[in-house]
């Protein structure tokens, strides 16, 4: 029996665009079209597409308004949305992705590239649904404590809970913990170069390596989202050293990633290396089983969790691998080689945050890493004194030592800007990071 085609819903107020898009998509998918956002929501009452291709510039209700409504409704929030639009400004793309779109493709598009990107996103969405279904079945049918928790806790933690179940408080409990969010840089670009089978193999191998580092430190894996991992330390069992365990796992992940990339390049010449960005924060969080009797998830929530997620994204600006908050670094004492980077303010967090880059565990740090940290901190000292000329020279010196150092490139640009346009005397040195 022939497999049922996946349904793509194409939304565009231009009849010619609808006709061209339908002709391209019909090669592989079932296609429905809507000439407006209003018609889109009308169609959703009777059918559920596997993916929506959404234009932005439309009368009455534009694409941004439409996706907000889609993501606010329980019955449509999980439908993948890709913007297919003529708006080409980077700010437009950023807004679209911030609202929940999984991709942003500009017109005119290349049909083969469009089809490939849709294929990749549908595959990732399918894998996510499969994982969610499997997790729900485990939680519903396996009431035994060991079976319920063995899928997302280390074996050592499961053994401890099984030996003393009273230590596990079901429901929500407020506790000081450390959260970790990870994401793979340019994962969409990597995925586009792979066949669906190779992409699944890549994800499975990657998650096995990264998850092993987390479980080794007795962390709890909350969830996998596409190529991202959410994990936490300090629950369900309390850990006095949760911050150090979290940072140790992150440092191990970066070492394992380097070795894994080397092996993959040997196996598959031309393989694009994977670069993981990690955000870590420590603070008061709520941990517990959330959901219903039929479907629940042991997870974390709270403002401190949100900050960890924001720091993962902030890596993009500094071109760093691991960023952690001051609260995390303080709890680790002198066990980490770090460098202080900046004071920033991120969306949803009113108080400014002092952020640090974790370079390595102190006992494993190379002399080169220590030298880089010392040179950078000296240059940063000139910058904070507003000695722009001395700071510029110092950051140039850092880049002679390490030409690829992302934070030094960023601060060098800032020095040159402030030499020409000095900040006001009232400037507090805090940089606002606007991307969620």
In this structure, the answer to whether residues 325 and 344 fall within a common structural domain is yes
Q: Is residue 379 part of a domain?
A: yes
Q: Is residue 145 part of a domain?
A: no
Higher pLDDT, 91 or 218: 218
- Say if residues 154 and 218 touch (Cβ distance below 8 Å): yes
Paired sense of beta strands 172-184 and 276-291, if any: antiparallel
pLDDT at 193: 85
Integer Cα distance of 301 and 419 in angstroms: 43
In this structure, the answer to whether residues 289 and 420 fall within a common structural domain is no
The CB density around residue 271, as the number of other CB atoms within 10 Å, is: 17
Cα of 198 vs its chain's centroid, Å:
21
CATH number of domain containing 268 = 3.30.70.1230
pLDDT band at 365 (very low <50, low <70, confident <90, very high): very high
pLDDT at 388: 96
Q: Is residue 155 part of a domain?
A: no
pLDDT at 322: 98
pLDDT band at 152 (very low <50, low <70, confident <90, very high): low
In this structure, the answer to whether residues 335 and 377 fall within a common structural domain is no
In this structure, the answer to whether residues 406 and 423 fall within a common structural domain is yes
What are the pLDDT digits (tens) for 298-348?
789 999 999 999 999 999 999 999 999 999 999 999 999 999 999 999 887
Q: Is residue 154 part of a domain?
A: no
Which residues pair with residue 283 across a beta bridge?
Answer: 177
In this structure, the answer to whether residues 239 and 387 fall within a common structural domain is no
Final residue belonging to a domain, choices 365, 383, 413: 365
Over residues 97-113, the mean pLDDT reads 87
State the total domains in the chain. Answer: 3
Higher pLDDT, 138 or 367: 367
Q: Is residue 162 part of a domain?
A: no
pLDDT at 147: 56
Over residues 134-140, the mean pLDDT reads 62
Which residues pair with residue 29 across a beta bridge?
Answer: none
Q: Is residue 399 part of a domain?
A: yes
pLDDT at 65: 93
- Say if residues 55 and 85 touch (Cβ distance below 8 Å): yes
In this structure, the answer to whether residues 354 and 375 fall within a common structural domain is no
| 248 pLDDT higher than 90 | yes
Over residues 261-279, the mean pLDDT reads 89
In this structure, the answer to whether residues 42 and 110 fall within a common structural domain is yes
Q: Percentage of residues in the chain with pLDDT exceeding 70? A: 89
In this structure, the answer to whether residues 176 and 280 fall within a common structural domain is yes
Cα of 11 vs its chain's centroid, Å:
28
The CB density around residue 168, as the number of other CB atoms within 10 Å, is: 19
Over residues 33-46, the mean pLDDT reads 92
pLDDT at 216: 93
In this structure, the answer to whether residues 361 and 379 fall within a common structural domain is no
| 141 pLDDT higher than 50 | no
Over residues 74-99, the mean pLDDT reads 87
Q: Is residue 131 part of a domain?
A: no
Q: Percentage of residues in the chain with pLDDT exceeding 90? A: 59
pLDDT band at 137 (very low <50, low <70, confident <90, very high): low
Residue 417's domain comprises 368-432
Final residue belonging to a domain, choices 322, 349, 365: 365
pTM: 0.65
Cα of 354 vs its chain's centroid, Å:
20
The H or E element spanning position 11 is: strand 7-11
Residue 57 makes CB contacts below 8 A (sequence gap 6+) with 13, 63, 85, 86, 87
Least confident residue range of 181-185, 191-195, 363-367: 191-195
Final residue belonging to a domain, choices 124, 156, 179: 124
pLDDT at 142: 46
In this structure, the answer to whether residues 337 and 375 fall within a common structural domain is no
CATH number of domain containing 80 = 3.40.50.2300
Integer Cα distance of 40 and 46 in angstroms: 11
In this structure, the answer to whether residues 376 and 234 fall within a common structural domain is no
What the block records as the tokens of 397 is 């010196």
pLDDT at 161: 64
Over residues 201-229, the mean pLDDT reads 92
DSSP string of 87-122, one letter each residue: ---HHHHHHHHHTT-SEEEESSPPHHHHHHHHHHHH
Residue 271 makes CB contacts below 8 A (sequence gap 6+) with 261, 264, 265
In this structure, the answer to whether residues 428 and 297 fall within a common structural domain is no
Which residues pair with residue 51 across a beta bridge?
Answer: 8
For residue 120, CA distances in Å to 93, 111, 117, 384 come to: 19, 14, 5, 45
| 169 pLDDT higher than 60 | no
| 129 pLDDT higher than 60 | yes
Q: Is residue 151 part of a domain?
A: no
């Amino acid at each position: 029996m022939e497999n049922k085609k996946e349904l793509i819903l194409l939304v565009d107020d231009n009849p010619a665009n609808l006709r061209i898009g339908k002709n391209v998509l019909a090669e592989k998918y079932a296609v429905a079209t809507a000439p407006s956002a209003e018609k889109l929501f009308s169609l959703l009452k009777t059918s559920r597409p596997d993916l929506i291709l959404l234009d932005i510039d439309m009368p009455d209700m534009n694409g941004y308004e439409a996706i907000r409504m889609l993501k606010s409704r329980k019955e449509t929030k999980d439908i993948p949305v890709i913007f297919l639009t003529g708006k080409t400004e980077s700010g437009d793309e950023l807004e679209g992705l911030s609202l929940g779109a999984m991709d942003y493709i500009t017109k005119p598009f290349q049909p083969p590239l469009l089809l490939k990107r849709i294929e990749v996103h549908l595959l990732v969405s399918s894998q996510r649904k499969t994982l969610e279904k499997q997790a729900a079945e485990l939680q519903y049918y396996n009431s035994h404590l060991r079976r319920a928790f063995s899928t997302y806790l280390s074996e050592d933690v499961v053994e401890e809970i099984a030996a003393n179940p009273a230590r596990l408080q079901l429901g929500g409990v407020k506790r000081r913990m450390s959260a970790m969010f990870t994401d793979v840089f340019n994962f969409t670009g990597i995925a586009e170069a792979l066949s669906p089978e190779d992409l699944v193999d890549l994800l499975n191998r990657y998650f096995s390596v990264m998850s092993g580092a987390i479980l080794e430190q007795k962390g709890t894996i909350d969830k996998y989202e596409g190529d991202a991992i959410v994990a936490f330390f300090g629950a369900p069992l309390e850990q006095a050293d949760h911050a150090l365990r979290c940072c140790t796992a992150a440092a191990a992940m970066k070492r394992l990633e380097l070795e894994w990339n080397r092996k993959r390049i040997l196996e598959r010449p031309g393989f694009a290396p994977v670069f993981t960005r990690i955000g870590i924060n420590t603070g008061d969080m709520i941990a517990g089983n959330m959901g219903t009797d039929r479907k629940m998830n042991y997870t974390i929530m709270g403002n401190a969790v949100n900050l960890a997620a924001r720091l993962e994204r902030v890596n993009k600006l500094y071109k760093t691998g691991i960023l952690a908050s001051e609260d995390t670094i303080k709890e680790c004492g002198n066990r980490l080689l770090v460098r202080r980077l900046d004071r920033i303010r991120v969306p949803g967090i009113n108080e400014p945050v002092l952020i640090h880059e974790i370079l390595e565990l102190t006992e494993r740090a190379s002399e080169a890493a220590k030298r880089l940290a010392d040179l950078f901190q000296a240059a940063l000292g000139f910058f904070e004194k507003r000695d722009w000329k001395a700071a510029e020279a110092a950051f140039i010196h850092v880049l002679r030592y390490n030409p690829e150092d992302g934070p030094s490139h960023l601060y060098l640009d800032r020095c040159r800007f402030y030499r020409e346009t000095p900040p006001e005397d009232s400037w507090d040195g805090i940089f606002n990071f606007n991307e969620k």
